Structure 1
Amino acid sequence: MDFLKELFGTSSSFEAIYWAIAVSATGLMGLKSILSFIGLDLDADFELGLDGDEISVSAILTVLMTIGWSGVLGYKLTSYNDLVILITASVAGVASLGASIFIGGRLKKELEHSGNIDLKNAIGKTAKVYLTIPAGKAEKGQIEIELQGRLKIMDAISENLIPSGASVIVYDVNEHSLVVEPIPSVES
């Protein structure tokens, strides 16, 4: 412990421990950030068992940095005793963990939702028939449609036989298929 007290220039063993935690966690987070920047991200997740929440290495390092720097500031800026500083630093660490889980969960949900296609957004859009659509809605063909900023090949059904290359308009959604009808060609 004397080594840490000498290294960080402190008279208190507890303050030296806070310095060691703060400097180590900050250094590891910096290293992790650099590795991530150059494409060597070594992140891992740990299951908590609480509603499927995950804690990442980044979240753990964030907690340790918060506890360490809160403890250092507690000794540098206040005259509180060791127990008060320990409790304050621990509360700050738990708060940073909660914030990491909350923000990470929100970002994860955003990523999950942003990739989903809502077929109802296709209603009223025009498309080109990719594979011939048989008549009678019994069998599926396929159409090529721009949906939510992406060009997609989607299953389609129709009352009418519609050949490949024909233009159609989507007027309904039936389970996982788009219901289309041909757009009449304008003859001059």
Structure 2
Amino acid sequence: MVDWWNGLSTLQQLFACFAIPATLVLVIQIILFIIGLSDGDGDADVSHDVADGDGAGADAADHVGDLTHSHDVAEVRLFTLRSIVAFFAVGGWTGVVLAGLELPLPAVIVFALMAGWAALYFVTWSIRMALRLQYSGNIDVSNAIGKVGEVYMTIPAANRGYGKINVMVQERFCEFEATTSADRDLKTGESVFVTGITEDNVLTVIPNDEVSTH
């Protein structure tokens, strides 16, 4: 490894400094995705009384049909953690390879940026397509009530905004918008319990470690 690093030019090492960490994060994301698929329903059978304790779960279910892709697909941002990681990983390794071919510096930078941008856009496009397939497969959001999920994008405290969670619904690993009444932000990676759904088809969640207290 040391010999390989020492054999790189300064420009290649610079690109590698972006590519290597991004690739490691990408691998971790893939591993977490696989774990999520295998463990998705492991703790999901918490009593549904939690979801219905204040009537929110039952009332919300009355408002829920199948999601239409126009709401959540439109919310898929171009710059997300996944797409940015893909940008640096693909763009970085492209720069390493092209710099090794002794191409002019401007050409190396331009092609690396183009490759990174293509990867970024592809990841965003893939997520949008996956969501469309998810919705066209008649995913009923009400089936998420009582499930345990994981925060993907931070959920602001006290219903001040929306974040996103990943949760297994109808044997599919799905991503939904979510809000919380908790008095603190729910951070990425935190386990949450779905208590209901708003009229806008946004999941309401609480920290999973607070389930026994409700």
TM-score, normalisation: structure 2: 0.42
| Higher Rg | 1
Q: When you count strand as a share of all residues, which structure comes out higher?
A: 1
Which structure carries more relative contact order (alpha carbon 8 Å, separation 6+)? 2
Q: When you count helix as a share of all residues, which structure comes out higher?
A: 2
